[in-house]
Amino acid sequence: MTKLIETPCDALVWAADLHDAERLLSTALERFGDKVALATSVSAEDQVVTDLLCHLTQRPRIFTLDTGRLPQETYDTIAATEERYGIRIKVLFPDCAEVRAMVDEHGLNLFHKSVELRRRCCYVRKVLPLRRELATLKAWITGLRREQTLTRAGVERVEWDEANGLVKINPLADWDTQQVWDYIREHDVPYNPLHDRGYPSIGCAPCTRAVRCTEELRAGRWWWEAPEHKECGLHRADQRR
């Protein structure tokens, strides 16, 4: 019998027998109702999770972060996803005053100056809007996979998000890239056309480039930084800084 989370200590126990992604999501919807939401960047993984959710409920709670610097292809994918599934994805924006103060002090391209300033940019444009939305939830869903990068190698299917005080559900944690794309092709899931142009991982336009087939999946994100630094803060335990 599945054990549902009642305390942070139960987080890793809850999904012990829920190896199937759809079953895990179904259980999450039963447990948390409208207090669970998918945070999507319309990555290939997030599109798979969106498809799974839309087969489980007609009104999935899904939101995305618009940093103000996304590629047009990402906006087009959001629109295509909404049309395909008949849903509306909630778009979260950074606080205008916070962005203005940051840019006034450090310039538009502060992310190239240091890891600290790049993380500051991500914090203002991503982490703070995310944190405000998570405050309305009991659990959130992501498309994180262990294979994606060194910093995600320890991802579990269900975790306790200590920084935000809620459950974090990663239904594709143990999927590999082939499984993701097999699912997309089999179910005709909309995906970002930048994936076909050598972008396995897509973030803000100035901080993302295409990669060679021999490079790791997230090599194109903040490519000027060391691999162990390549997180924006959304999935870091120390994000409340």
pLDDT at 130 over 50: yes
Q: Is 230 within a domain?
A: no
Element (H or E) spanning 55, and its range?
Answer: helix 44-56
Q: pLDDT tens digits, residue range 158-193?
A: 999 998 999 999 999 999 999 999 999 999 999 999
Give a yes or no: residue 142 inside a domain: yes
For the chain, how many structural domains are there in total? 1
Report yes or no on 162 lying in a domain: yes
Q: What is the CB neighbour count within 10 angstroms for residue 16?
A: 11
Determine, yes or no, domain membership for 209: no
Residue 134 to residue 116: CA distance in whole angstroms: 24
Q: Is 96 a member of any domain?
A: yes
**Among 83-97, 110-124, 195-209, 219-233, whose mean pLDDT is lowest?**
219-233
Average pLDDT over residues 121-133: 96
Reported pTM: 0.85
**122 among known catalytic residues:** no
Which range of residues forms the domain containing residue 168?
8-194
Distances (CA, A) of 170 to 15, 18, 68, 146, 210: 10, 11, 26, 10, 26
Mode of pairing for the β-strands spanning 62-65 and 36-39 = parallel
The CATH number of the domain holding residue 172 is 3.40.50.620
Express each pLDDT in 54-81 by its tens digit: 999 999 999 999 999 999 999 999 999 9
Residue 113 has a pLDDT of 93
Catalytic residue among 122, 204, 207, 232: 232
In this structure, is residue 218 part of a structural domain? no
36-50, 74-88, 92-106, 161-175: which has the minimum mean pLDDT?
161-175
Instruction: Calculate the average pLDDT of the chain.
Output: 87
Average of per-residue pLDDT across 33-53:
97
93 is a domain residue: yes
Question: At 63, phi and psi to the nearest 5?
Answer: -135, 160
For residue 4, pLDDT beyond 60: no
Distance between CA atoms of 23 and 17, rounded to whole angstroms?
A: 10
Position 204 in a domain: no
